[in-house]
Structure 1
Amino acid sequence: MAIRDRLSGNEAIAYAMRQINPDVVAAFPITPSTEVPQYFSQFVANGEVDTEFVAVESEHSAMSACIGASAAGARTMTATSSQGLALMWEMLYIAASMRLPIVMAVINRALSGPINIHNDHSDSMGARDSGWIQIYCENNQEAYDSLIQAIRIAEHKDVRLPVMVCYDGFITSHAVENIELLEDEVVRNFIGEYNPEYYLLNEQNPISMGPLDLPPYYFEHKRQQAEAMRNAKKVVLEVADEFAKISGRKYGLFETYKLDDAEVAIVVMNSTAGTAKAVVDEYRSKGYKVGLLKPRLFRPFPVEEIVGALKHLKAIAVMDKTDSFNAAGGPLFTEVTSALYGRADGIKVINYIYGLGGRDVKTDDIAKIYDRLLDIVKTGNVGEVYNYIGVRE
């Protein structure tokens, strides 16, 4: 039976961690993720979990401790943001290459400099090719649900990769929303016991981890890692199907909103998708065929499925809450256009960078983007592909 409550995103994540009851959590505080280990440490102090909580001196040490714990066979979790994720950079690659199923909540915050504590996606997008699975969440409910599913995805025998569950700092992390929680026993039955096949403390099957890997084998190990990432897409859907049975909430690789008969659409992630849905409803009421696609799984990127959802459109705007500084477009834009290339070449696609450093994106801003798309369809004139919205220039 669902438990109805009102929680912030960070409270919901900490609550899910309590229900998961990981063996080890190693963390270092950084805004706006600080509340996650803070709330969870209270569960530890109160004896509500059996977790070994490791308070470390930096985020680099936090991920290092997680790697050591996971390599030893422990179910391991952490949380971070922004500069904290950047300080983990070296260790992110090591965790992924060692095939360690660590689950980390990433509370998205702008990456310095200049110093900024507010939300954009520069932190997790900067780590997009580190080998971690990445799941993005629109609201508190999705963050809670995704963290629970992430355990199953990461630990699956065909995957064995770490997972980031990303949600917007302050917008989602600190905003209180109504939420439906699962009962503790239901969560624990869903995730099951963690019984790794290979780990350092298994004296019956001694192994080494992180050894020197020279040209005769390194390439093959990276190919295996890439294959595990390909496998993750199928596992994400399988886990989502099982989660729907216990929760009534169904998740896919992405969410579509009034897209089936749309002529134009916006592709956007996380909390801004909620704002965009309101604009879709307004334009639909006026007779315009507009829609929305909200990616949930960014790594691995579901190329075939996204093309299938978008291929009937005439024009698309992809919105990025970070800039790639490549003079060509943001990371989500380059992924979408790469997916469409050779599969749906007739669609006109433009990019908008928005919301950097926490700049508000309003319904009026999104309405301007839909107006631009409708004009592209009417005139056939695409104009500038690489655009900014909401910036003074």
Structure 2
Amino acid sequence: MSIRERLSGNEAIATAMRQINPDVMPAFPITPSTEIPQYFASFVANGQVDTEFIPVESEHSAMSAAIGAEAAGARTLTATSSCGMAFMWEVLYVAASNRLPIALALVNRALSGPININCDHSDSMGARDAGWIQIYSENNQEAYDNFVQAYRIAEHPSVRLPIMICQDGFITSHAVENIELLEDKEVKNFVGEYNPESYLLNSKQPMSVGAYATVAFAMEAKRAQLEALKNAKQVTLDVAKEFAELTGRKYGLFEEYKLDDADYAMVIIGSSAGTAKDAIDALRAEGKKVGLLKIRLFRPFPAEEIAEALRNAKVIACMDRTESYNGQCGPLGAEVKSALFNTRLTPEVINYVYGLGGRDVTVESLTSVFEDLIKIDETKDTGEKYRYLSLRD
């Protein structure tokens, strides 16, 4: 039976954490994710969970403690944002290479500099090649649902990798929305108990974690890690199917919105997808065939499936909420172009950089993107293929 609530995205994530009742949470505060460990610490103090909460001295320490706890056999999670994630950088790779299914609630915020505390995706996109599973949320309901599903994906025997559940800082993290929660027992039953095969505190099976990889083994370890990450794609779908049976809320690798017959498609990540849907509804009312593909799973990147979903589009806009400084495309643009190229699809692809440092994303601004795509198709003149949206003169 669902519970109707009004929660911010941070409250929703903290509630999911409480219902999971993990063994260990090391955390260090940073805006805009600070509320997550704050709420969770109150759950610990009130006896609502029996989690060991560790207030550490830095984000590097938070992830290091998470690695130690998870390696010891404890289900572990933490939360961070922006420069906090950057401070974790070294140990993000360690967590993934050691195949530790840690869950991280990442509240997306711009990396400095210039100093800025608002939303863009530079933190998670900067860590996209660390070997973590990455799932993005459009709204508070998705943030909650994604976190409930996180451990089922990360702890699967064919995966065993860390996972970050991302949501947009201040946009969803602090905005209050009506959402549906599961009963505590339903979450506990869905997630299940953590029973690792190998862990440091198992005296019957001595092992080491993080041992030096010599030349003879380093590449093989990386390849095994890649295969595990690829396995996460099907596991994500399998877990989503079970979640849909429990809740009626369906999730996939991505969401298609009025995309079937769309000549002009937008590919986007996060909260701006909701704004894009409003723009699409208005343009559809004018008879314009526009549609949306909203990425949910970014790592592993579902290239074949995305290429198939975009097969009929004439012109595509890839929307990157970060700057890669290659002058050609952003991270999402690079992934989508590669997917299309590998399947020998050749639509026009325009890459837009938008929303950096919290720049407003409006129905009007995203409508202008679709108008650009229509004009390109009509005139056959692509113009600049790498553009900034809503840039002041």
Q: TM-score normalized by structure 1?
A: 0.99
Q: Which residue of 1 aligns with 2:206?
A: 206
* Separation (CA, whole Å) in 1 of partners of 2:121 and 2:342: 28
Structure 1 residue aligned with 2:72: 72
Structure 1 residue 391: deviation in Å? 1.1
**1:324–1:330 CA contact under 8 A, matched in 2:** yes
Deviations 1:90-134 (A, max 9, x none): 000000000000000000000001110000000000000000000
Separation in 2 of the partners of 1:298 and 1:259? 19
Which residue type is aligned with residue 101 of structure 1? P
Tell me the residue number matched to 1:119.
Answer: 119
Q: 1:321-343: per-residue Cα shift (whole Å, max 9, x none)? A: 00100111110000000100041
The answer for the alignment partner of 1:187 in structure 2 is 187
Paired AA for residue 143 in structure 2: A
Gaps of 5+ in 1: none
1:335 partnered with 2:311: no
Cα-to-partner distance string for 1:235-271 (whole Å, 9 max, x where unaligned) = 0000000011111101000001000011101111100
Q: CA RMSD in A?
A: 0.6
Q: Which residue of 1 aligns with 2:252?
A: 252
Deviates more, 1:343-352 or 1:221-230: 343-352
- Separation in structure 2 between the aligned mates of residue 361 and residue 248 of structure 1, nearest angstrom: 30
For 1:45, the equivalent position in structure 2 comes to 45
Q: For residues 170-217 of structure 1, give each alpha carbon's deviation from its aligned partner in whole angstroms, at most 9, with x where no partner exists.
A: 000000000000000000000111000010000111111111111011
Do 2:109 and 2:122's aligned partners in 1 also have CA atoms closer than 8 Å?
A: yes
Give the conservation status (yes or no) of the 8 Å contact 1:73–1:196: yes
1:136-215 equivalent positions in 2, closer than 5 A: 136-215=136-215
Q: Name the counterpart of 2:383.
A: 383
AA aligned opposite 1:86: A
Q: Is the 8 A contact 1:311 1:344 kept in 2?
A: no
Q: Distance in 2 between matches of 1:7 and 1:27?
A: 22
Aligned to 2:291: 291
1:92 aligns with 2:92: yes
* Distance in 1 separating the partners of 2:55 and 2:373: 50
Q: Which structure 2 residue ranges, 5 or more long, are not aligned?
A: none
Q: Deviations over 1:274-310 (max 9, x none)?
A: 0000000000000000000000000000011001100
Cα displacement string for residues 336-359 of structure 1 (whole angstroms, at most 9, x for unaligned residues): 001000414321100000011001
Supply the AA of the counterpart residue of 2:53: F
Query: 2-side partners of 1:74 and 1:99: how far apart?
Result: 14
The equivalent residue for 2:271 is: 271
Q: How many residues align?
A: 393
For 1:114 and 1:369, the matched residues in 2 are separated by 27
SS of 1:88 mapped into structure 2: helix
Contact 2:320 2:351 in 1 (8 A): yes
Give the corresponding residue for 1:371: 371
2:178 partner amino acid: N
Task: Give the aligned residue type for 2:367.
Answer: A
Q: 1:4-27 deviations in whole A, cap 9, x for unaligned?
A: 000000000000000000000000
Letter in 2 for 1:118: N
* Cα contact 2:82–2:109 (8 A) shared by 1: yes
Which stretches of structure 1, 4 residues or longer, exceed 4 Å deviation after superposition?
A: none
Q: Secondary structure at the match of 2:53?
A: strand
**2:13: which partner in 1?**
13
The structural deviation recorded for 1:156 is 0.3
In 2, the alpha carbon distance for the partners of 1:41 and 1:293 equals: 37
Residue 242 of structure 2 corresponds to residue 242 of structure 1: yes
Q: Please say if residues 307 and 344 of structure 1, whose CA atoms lie closer than 8 Å, have aligned partners that are also in contact.
A: no
Q: In 2 relative to 1, CA 344–315 (structure 1 residues): closer, same or farther, beyond 3 Å?
A: farther
3-state DSSP class of the match of 2:352?
A: strand
Instruction: Report if the CA contact (8 A) 2:276-2:366 is conserved.
Output: yes
Whether the aligned pair in 2 keeps the contact of 1:259 and 1:291 (CA below 8 Å) is yes
Q: Is the 8 A contact 2:340 2:346 kept in 1?
A: no
- SS of the residue 1:341 aligns to: helix
CA contact (8 A) 2:279 2:366 kept: yes
1:230 matched residue in structure 2: 230
In 2, Cα distance between equivalents of 1:207 and 1:312: 52
Q: Could you say what secondary structure the match of 2:106 adopts?
A: strand
Q: Deviations over 1:147-190 (max 9, x none)?
A: 01011001000000000000000000000000000000000000
CA distance in 2, matches of 1:77, 1:275: 31
TM-score norm. by structure 2 comes to 0.99
